[in-house]
Chains A and B, each alone.
Chain A
Amino acid sequence: MNEFKSVWVFSENRDLMLEMLCKGRELADKLQTELAVILLGCKIKDQAEILIKYGADKVYVVDDPKFEKLQTEPYLSALTNLATRYRPEIILIGSTKRGKELAARLTTRLETGLVSDAFKLEIDENKRLIATRIVYSGNGVATETYQTKPQVATVQPRTFEKPKLMERKGQVVEVNVTLEEPKTEVIEIKPVEVKKVRIEDARIIVSGGRGVEKKEDFKMLEDLATLLGGYVGNTRPLAEDRKWFSEWVGLSGKKVKPDLYVACGLSGVIQHIAGMRDSKVIVAINKDQEAPIFQVADYIVVDDIYQIVPALTEALRKMLKS
């Protein structure tokens, strides 16, 4: 039987696919093998070339109208067929809800292991894939590996950086696969209910805790957030005890991972930290130098938010003007 080789990337979500392509390139280079994108869809052939410029060595294209409705079975049969035929060593699948179901079913058909929502992927000295993921609702980080191949992992959006466009060469392979009919029928599609800004989507969050004495004082946080092009967030006690807000950042509330999280007057109880720990950069401003939030902060300001926050907004405004 052929040896397992090459690293594959698949997602029905294009941004996610590109992000995984970047990580996939790194893994393929380590293993000195090729990186392939599986491109499944309807009238998508023309999108293949650019994927090579984003780092793929090969693009397997299955172009079929059956993919149009985004139902799992056509994708599942295409991937099963290709994986059985070409035997990849690693498959990265985009962890959308559709992708998660697909990955679980694919790996059952291939009788292999799957690590869900890996945020770190490495190759060990035995050339095995080492995948790291969050477990126990953020209380643990599990490092896992595989005893079978292909080694499959799903990857959540915004876990890895998008690759840069490069001039490079590769191969586009069109494949014919007989696709399975869906086992379910989609009888209605409804739009996502309109909500106000989803804090999960905010790139910058300025968050307040119990150190904010009055609801009106959130104005100074809003000013800072607006200047930075972000949104304001808050802790659970402000929502549940003081009833100022209907939602909050935390274990029991919204989990966020913005590029910048400015924690103002919040002590950082473990439940809150579990909801924002993955933020790229954390700034903490608190009077109490023992506040646990400082332990997860990149920038620490031990001072009164009523002094610092307006001054920070002012300073930023001046610097941006000049």
Chain B
Amino acid sequence: MVFDFTETETQRLVVKSVKDWCERNLTFERVREMDDKGHPFPKEIVEGLCGLRVVMGTVPAEHGGSGIDWLTQGMIAEVIGYYDPTIATAAGLMAVETGWGFTLDRYCNETVREKYIKPAIRGEKFVGIATTEPGGGSDVAAFKSTAKKDGNEWIINGEKTFISGTEECKKWGGGYWINVRTGPIQPGAPHRNMTSFFLPIDAEGVEVQEPYRDAGRMAISTGGFKMKDVRLPDEYKLGEEGKGFYYTMEGFDNARMMIAASCVGIIQRIIDEAVPYITERKTFGRPLAKYEAIQFELAELYREMEALKLMTRKTTWMQDIRYKEEGMPQKISKAKTFKPTDVAGWISMIKWKGPSLALEAARKAMIWFGAAGYTKEYILESAWRGVMSYVVGAEGGLNIQKIVVARELLGRDYVPYK
């Protein structure tokens, strides 16, 4: 039996532990308070989940992680999305720290690992991703930040913006994965000459900007920083010079899986909140659930959620196979079962489907609830505001995912940006 959807005992127990923890610590009241109060993200939530060792769980045990697979990590993200449907916790701890942190661990050297990654796994520090620049996010040709070699050091200049967790990083210590140019833009191949570094937030010349006033997922900050003649030793370079684009795509892949998985949880939560409401609440003498206009939408939502869940679990499973075959560090030539682009296509599909479906679920449920759904008495409005951040752009906007999927179907000749 190749296709087996049974959860293993370990998966069941891990999911139960995270659920039990969230039942105690990520209650409705707590999440609402976090969303009302805004950033910085509560440290005890980070420490608690890191104490269960489920943040960056996929990092190998010898690097301080738990060495679990992405399939299981995805199930953990589902639970976290369920309990914090504002998506703040999943955004900070699953997408950014786990998705990007894991990838960072693959390409960083021992110094960065000891000083930053291991403490982040323990919940002491924060590691994040800073790719987007004022000139653009998905459009890598627009990147302007640069690094110039000076002896054994690099001198970095530029600016990053719409970065998750800048306030938390500043407060707890830590740093960011940044991408900069280490050579001129090559016509037709703007992704070349891009190199990745790890930038400690407290490095001299880093100036953290005031955070944005976001519409949702208020518990975690979004900000930016300027880098002015920041000197980084060569050991803060990630992987090989000029390969930053590929590492970044891998990081995006992992982060996007986490977002899709947490959206599964969010939609499940919305359904679980809605069912008692629409069965108890009556209009014109009948429970709301008796109206086809509502029950059909509920049924459709459930179908779509299950589809998303299956797609997400298949995608994480594919990624696990890919990592297993390609070894550490990734050697693309060794891939057997799936081409990396196969997996990227699936990841784009779930990143496209997840947040937009969660947004749709929140929107629909708010309409079923009527005015009550628009209030903070229910989680719906906070989910609606929160997941919107992943529809508009975080971890790659909606339309960029469509381009990736179409590219797989039509070939590179039809990409709109060429």
Direct chain A–B contact by Cβ atoms under 8 Å: yes
User: Contact residues of A with B, CB < 8 Å?
Assistant: 240-241, 290
Mask for B27-52, Cβ within 8 A of A = 1, else 0? 00100000000000000000000000
**In the complex, which of the residues A240, A241, A290 contacts B282, with contact meaning CB atoms closer than 8 Å?**
A290
Chain B residues with CB under 8 Å of A240's CB are 29
Chain B residues with CB under 8 Å of A241's CB are 29
Interface residue count on the B side (C-beta < 8 Å): 2
A241 to B282, CA, bound (A): 25
Chain B residues with CB under 8 Å of A290's CB are 282
Chain A residues with CB under 8 Å of B29's CB are 240-241
Beta-carbon nearest neighbor of B281 in chain A: A290
A290 to B279, CA, bound (A): 12
User: Contact residues of B with A, CB < 8 Å?
Assistant: 29, 282
Chain A residues with CB under 8 Å of B282's CB are 290
Q: Is the interface of A mostly helix, strand, loop or mixed?
A: helix
Q: What is the CB-to-nearest-CB distance from A294 to chain B, in angstroms, rounded to a whole number? A: 14
A257 to B282, CA, bound (A): 31
A240 to B29, CA, bound (A): 8
A135 to B282, CA, bound (A): 32
Beta-carbon nearest neighbor of A291 in chain B: B280
A290 to B288, CA, bound (A): 14
Q: List 3 A-B contacts (CB under 8 A).
A: A240-B29, A241-B29, A290-B282
Q: What is the CB-to-nearest-CB distance from B34 to chain A, in angstroms, rounded to a whole number? A: 15
A240 to B282, CA, bound (A): 27
Q: What is the CB-to-nearest-CB distance from A304 to chain B, in angstroms, rounded to a whole number? A: 19
Beta-carbon nearest neighbor of A242 in chain B: B29
Q: What is the CB-to-nearest-CB distance from A296 to chain B, in angstroms, rounded to a whole number? A: 16
A290 to B281, CA, bound (A): 9
A109 to B28, CA, bound (A): 50
A290 to B285, CA, bound (A): 10
Beta-carbon nearest neighbor of B28 in chain A: A241
Q: What is the CB-to-nearest-CB distance from A289 to chain B, in angstroms, rounded to a whole number? A: 10
Beta-carbon nearest neighbor of B287 in chain A: A290
A241 to B379, CA, bound (A): 14
A290 to B287, CA, bound (A): 11
Q: What is the CB-to-nearest-CB distance from B55 to chain A, in angstroms, rounded to a whole number? A: 27
A319 to B269, CA, bound (A): 52
Beta-carbon nearest neighbor of A290 in chain B: B282
Beta-carbon nearest neighbor of A240 in chain B: B29
Beta-carbon nearest neighbor of B285 in chain A: A290
Q: What is the CB-to-nearest-CB distance from A221 to chain B, in angstroms, rounded to a whole number? A: 22
Q: What is the CB-to-nearest-CB distance from A106 to chain B, in angstroms, rounded to a whole number? A: 38
Q: What is the CB-to-nearest-CB distance from A237 to chain B, in angstroms, rounded to a whole number? A: 10
Q: What is the CB-to-nearest-CB distance from B412 to chain A, in angstroms, rounded to a whole number? A: 55
- CB-based closest 3 A-B pairs: A241-B29, A290-B282, A240-B29
A290 to B29, CA, bound (A): 27
Q: What is the CB-to-nearest-CB distance from A248 to chain B, in angstroms, rounded to a whole number? A: 14
Q: What is the CB-to-nearest-CB distance from B28 to chain A, in angstroms, rounded to a whole number? A: 8
